[in-house]
Amino acid sequence: MQFYNRILFLLIWASFLISPGYADDRFTVQNIHVDVTDSSATEARLKAIAQGQREAFKILMERILTPEDVASLPDVTDAQLDTFLQDFEVQNEKNSAVRYIGALTLRFNPSRVQDFLAHRNKSLRPAEKNATIVVIPVYEEGHGSQLWEEKNPWREAWNEYAGLDPRYVLPMGDLDDRSELSLQHVLKGEKKNIARLMQRYHAGQILVAVLKHDFPFILSVYIYNQEGLSYMEESIPLLGEETLTLAMTHKAIEKTLEIGKKLDAEDNNPLIAAHTIDYRILFDNHKEWLDIQNKLSRLRAIRRVDIASLKRRQALGALEYVGQQEAMENTLKAEGFDISPDPQMPQRRLIKGYKMLKNEKNSSAPDTVLSPREEDME
């Protein structure tokens, strides 16, 4: 009875919690799915929460202990688990007269759990810094794209996937999430919004998985860290069914996780590491320079734009990007830039803004490139 009273108290307390970053993230276990049938909806809910608590504690132990310590850990009673639990939240709650379904996020009290383990001569594994990866599933089909919608089948598949590595978590999709990161923010790769969501979930990375309903299905994966886009694989064909079956979603999820594992194993892969090229950008006026900066900051492949020198009609510096240089330059061309070897320094790239190109086309005079000295004299 004492346990049930504690559960009822926590149900009330959980309704006031809105931030997923409420506690030490190593002691927070998300996406515990429960489905229990009992004599009444109330009994089913209480048993579901107790069941979820046991499952979450098992995941926590596997996260913070070595496999040997997990294997030798004695069984824990429900009463003990009750003292370890700090609070919890419920998402996607559904119930009937005798059945309860939900997805739980449970937060354990770090000091109480560590005291329990210390009395049993168990020590915590060193924490992996920012190991959490937040998954953003975007589903594209004929009539548009879906992100936070309840009927997003790609998001539902991630919610229900049983083999998901505990490092990967899905955002709750509450009002705070939706205000931080809209569909347009995701599709445009808005670095500031992505970074804010990353901070909200105390994550080291954001993984955007875009599944396009086509034949074959097309998967694109974009991985962001605090500095911006760190890796991407686009237009991966997934052969198989023409409709979005369970098997197809599992294939797409497994391919996405495979990319994540490849990153873990290949941290020094030149396709993953950031690359840098020197540039000289020509522009017609200050407004165009601001437009160019804004465009560059929005491109997925560009991580950073360093400016070494800025004059009235040109800028010198370096671009930091991910992926292949050819792909990055093709992206710039698609945005209306012209990019070519710089006549003044062949290893540097010359980039022209759209107004500069327009003026050149409208002018009958031959195309000339101003030297830095000539720029200073204007």
Tell me the sheet residues that pair with 237: 218
Q: CA 273, 280, 341, 295 torsion: positive or negative? A: positive
Q: What is the CA radius of gyration of the chain?
A: 26
Q: 5 or 371, which is more confident?
A: 5
CA distance 179 to 277: 35
Averaged over 241-256, what is the pLDDT?
86
Quick one: tokens of 327?
């792909």
What was the pLDDT predicted at 50? 93
On average, the pLDDT of the chain sits at 79
Residue 367 confidence class, pLDDT cut points 50, 70, 90: very low
Q: Describe the crossing of helices 153-160 and 246-265 by its angle, rounded to 10 degrees.
A: 70
Residue 58 confidence class, pLDDT cut points 50, 70, 90: very high
138-147, 229-238, 342-351: the lowest-pLDDT one = 229-238
The reply to whether the predicted model has a pTM over 0.85 is no
Q: Describe the crossing of helices 41-64 and 2-14 by its angle, rounded to 10 degrees.
A: 80
- Phi first, then psi: what are they for 129, rounded to 5°? -65, 125
CA distance 350 to 148: 41
What was the pLDDT predicted at 372? 39
Averaged over 246-262, what is the pLDDT?
85
What was the pLDDT predicted at 359? 55
Residue type, 58: K
Quick one: tokens of 152?
């997003």
- Pairing mode of beta strands 205-212, 133-141: parallel
| Percent of the residues in the chain that have a pLDDT greater than 70, as a whole number | 80
Query: Pick from 107, 106, 110, 127: which is nearest to 118 by CA?
Result: 110
CA distance 4 to 86: 15
| Block residue for tokens 């407004």 | 287
For the chain, what is the HEC assignment?
CHHHHHHHHHHHHHCCCCCCCCCCHHHEEEEEEEEEECCCHHHHHHHHHHHHHHHHHHHHHHHHCCHHHHHHCCCCCHHHHHHHEEEEEEEEEEECCCEEEEEEEEEECHHHHHHHHHCCCCCCCCCCCCCCEEEEEEEEECCEEECCCCCCHHHHHHHHCCCCCCCEECCCCCHHHHHHCCHHHHHHCCHHHHHHHHHHCCCCEEEEEEEECCCCEEEEEEEEECCEEEEEEEEEEECCCCCCCHHHHHHHHHHHHHHHHHHHHCCCCCCCCCEEEEEEEECCCHHHHHHHHHHHHHCCCEEEEEEEEECCCEEEEEEEECCCHHHHHHHHHHCCCEEEEECCEEEEEEEECHHHHHHHHHCCCCCCCCCHHHHHHC
Residue type, 190: E
Start-to-end CA span in the chain (Å): 84
What was the pLDDT predicted at 336? 81
Q: What is the pLDDT of residues 103-152, one digit of tens each?
A: 999 999 988 998 899 889 888 877 655 568 899 999 998 878 999 988 88
Query: CB burial class (10 A; 0-12, 13-18, 19+) of residue 232?
Result: buried
Specify which of 134-138, 203-207, 363-367 reaches the highest per-range mean pLDDT. Answer: 134-138
What was the pLDDT predicted at 275? 77
Domains of the chain: 2-118 (no CATH), 133-265 (3.40.50), 275-377 (no CATH)
Quick one: tokens of 108?
């354990």
Contact 170, 31 (CB under 8 A): yes
Using the predicted structure, report yes or no on whether residue 374 has a pLDDT greater than 50.
Answer: no
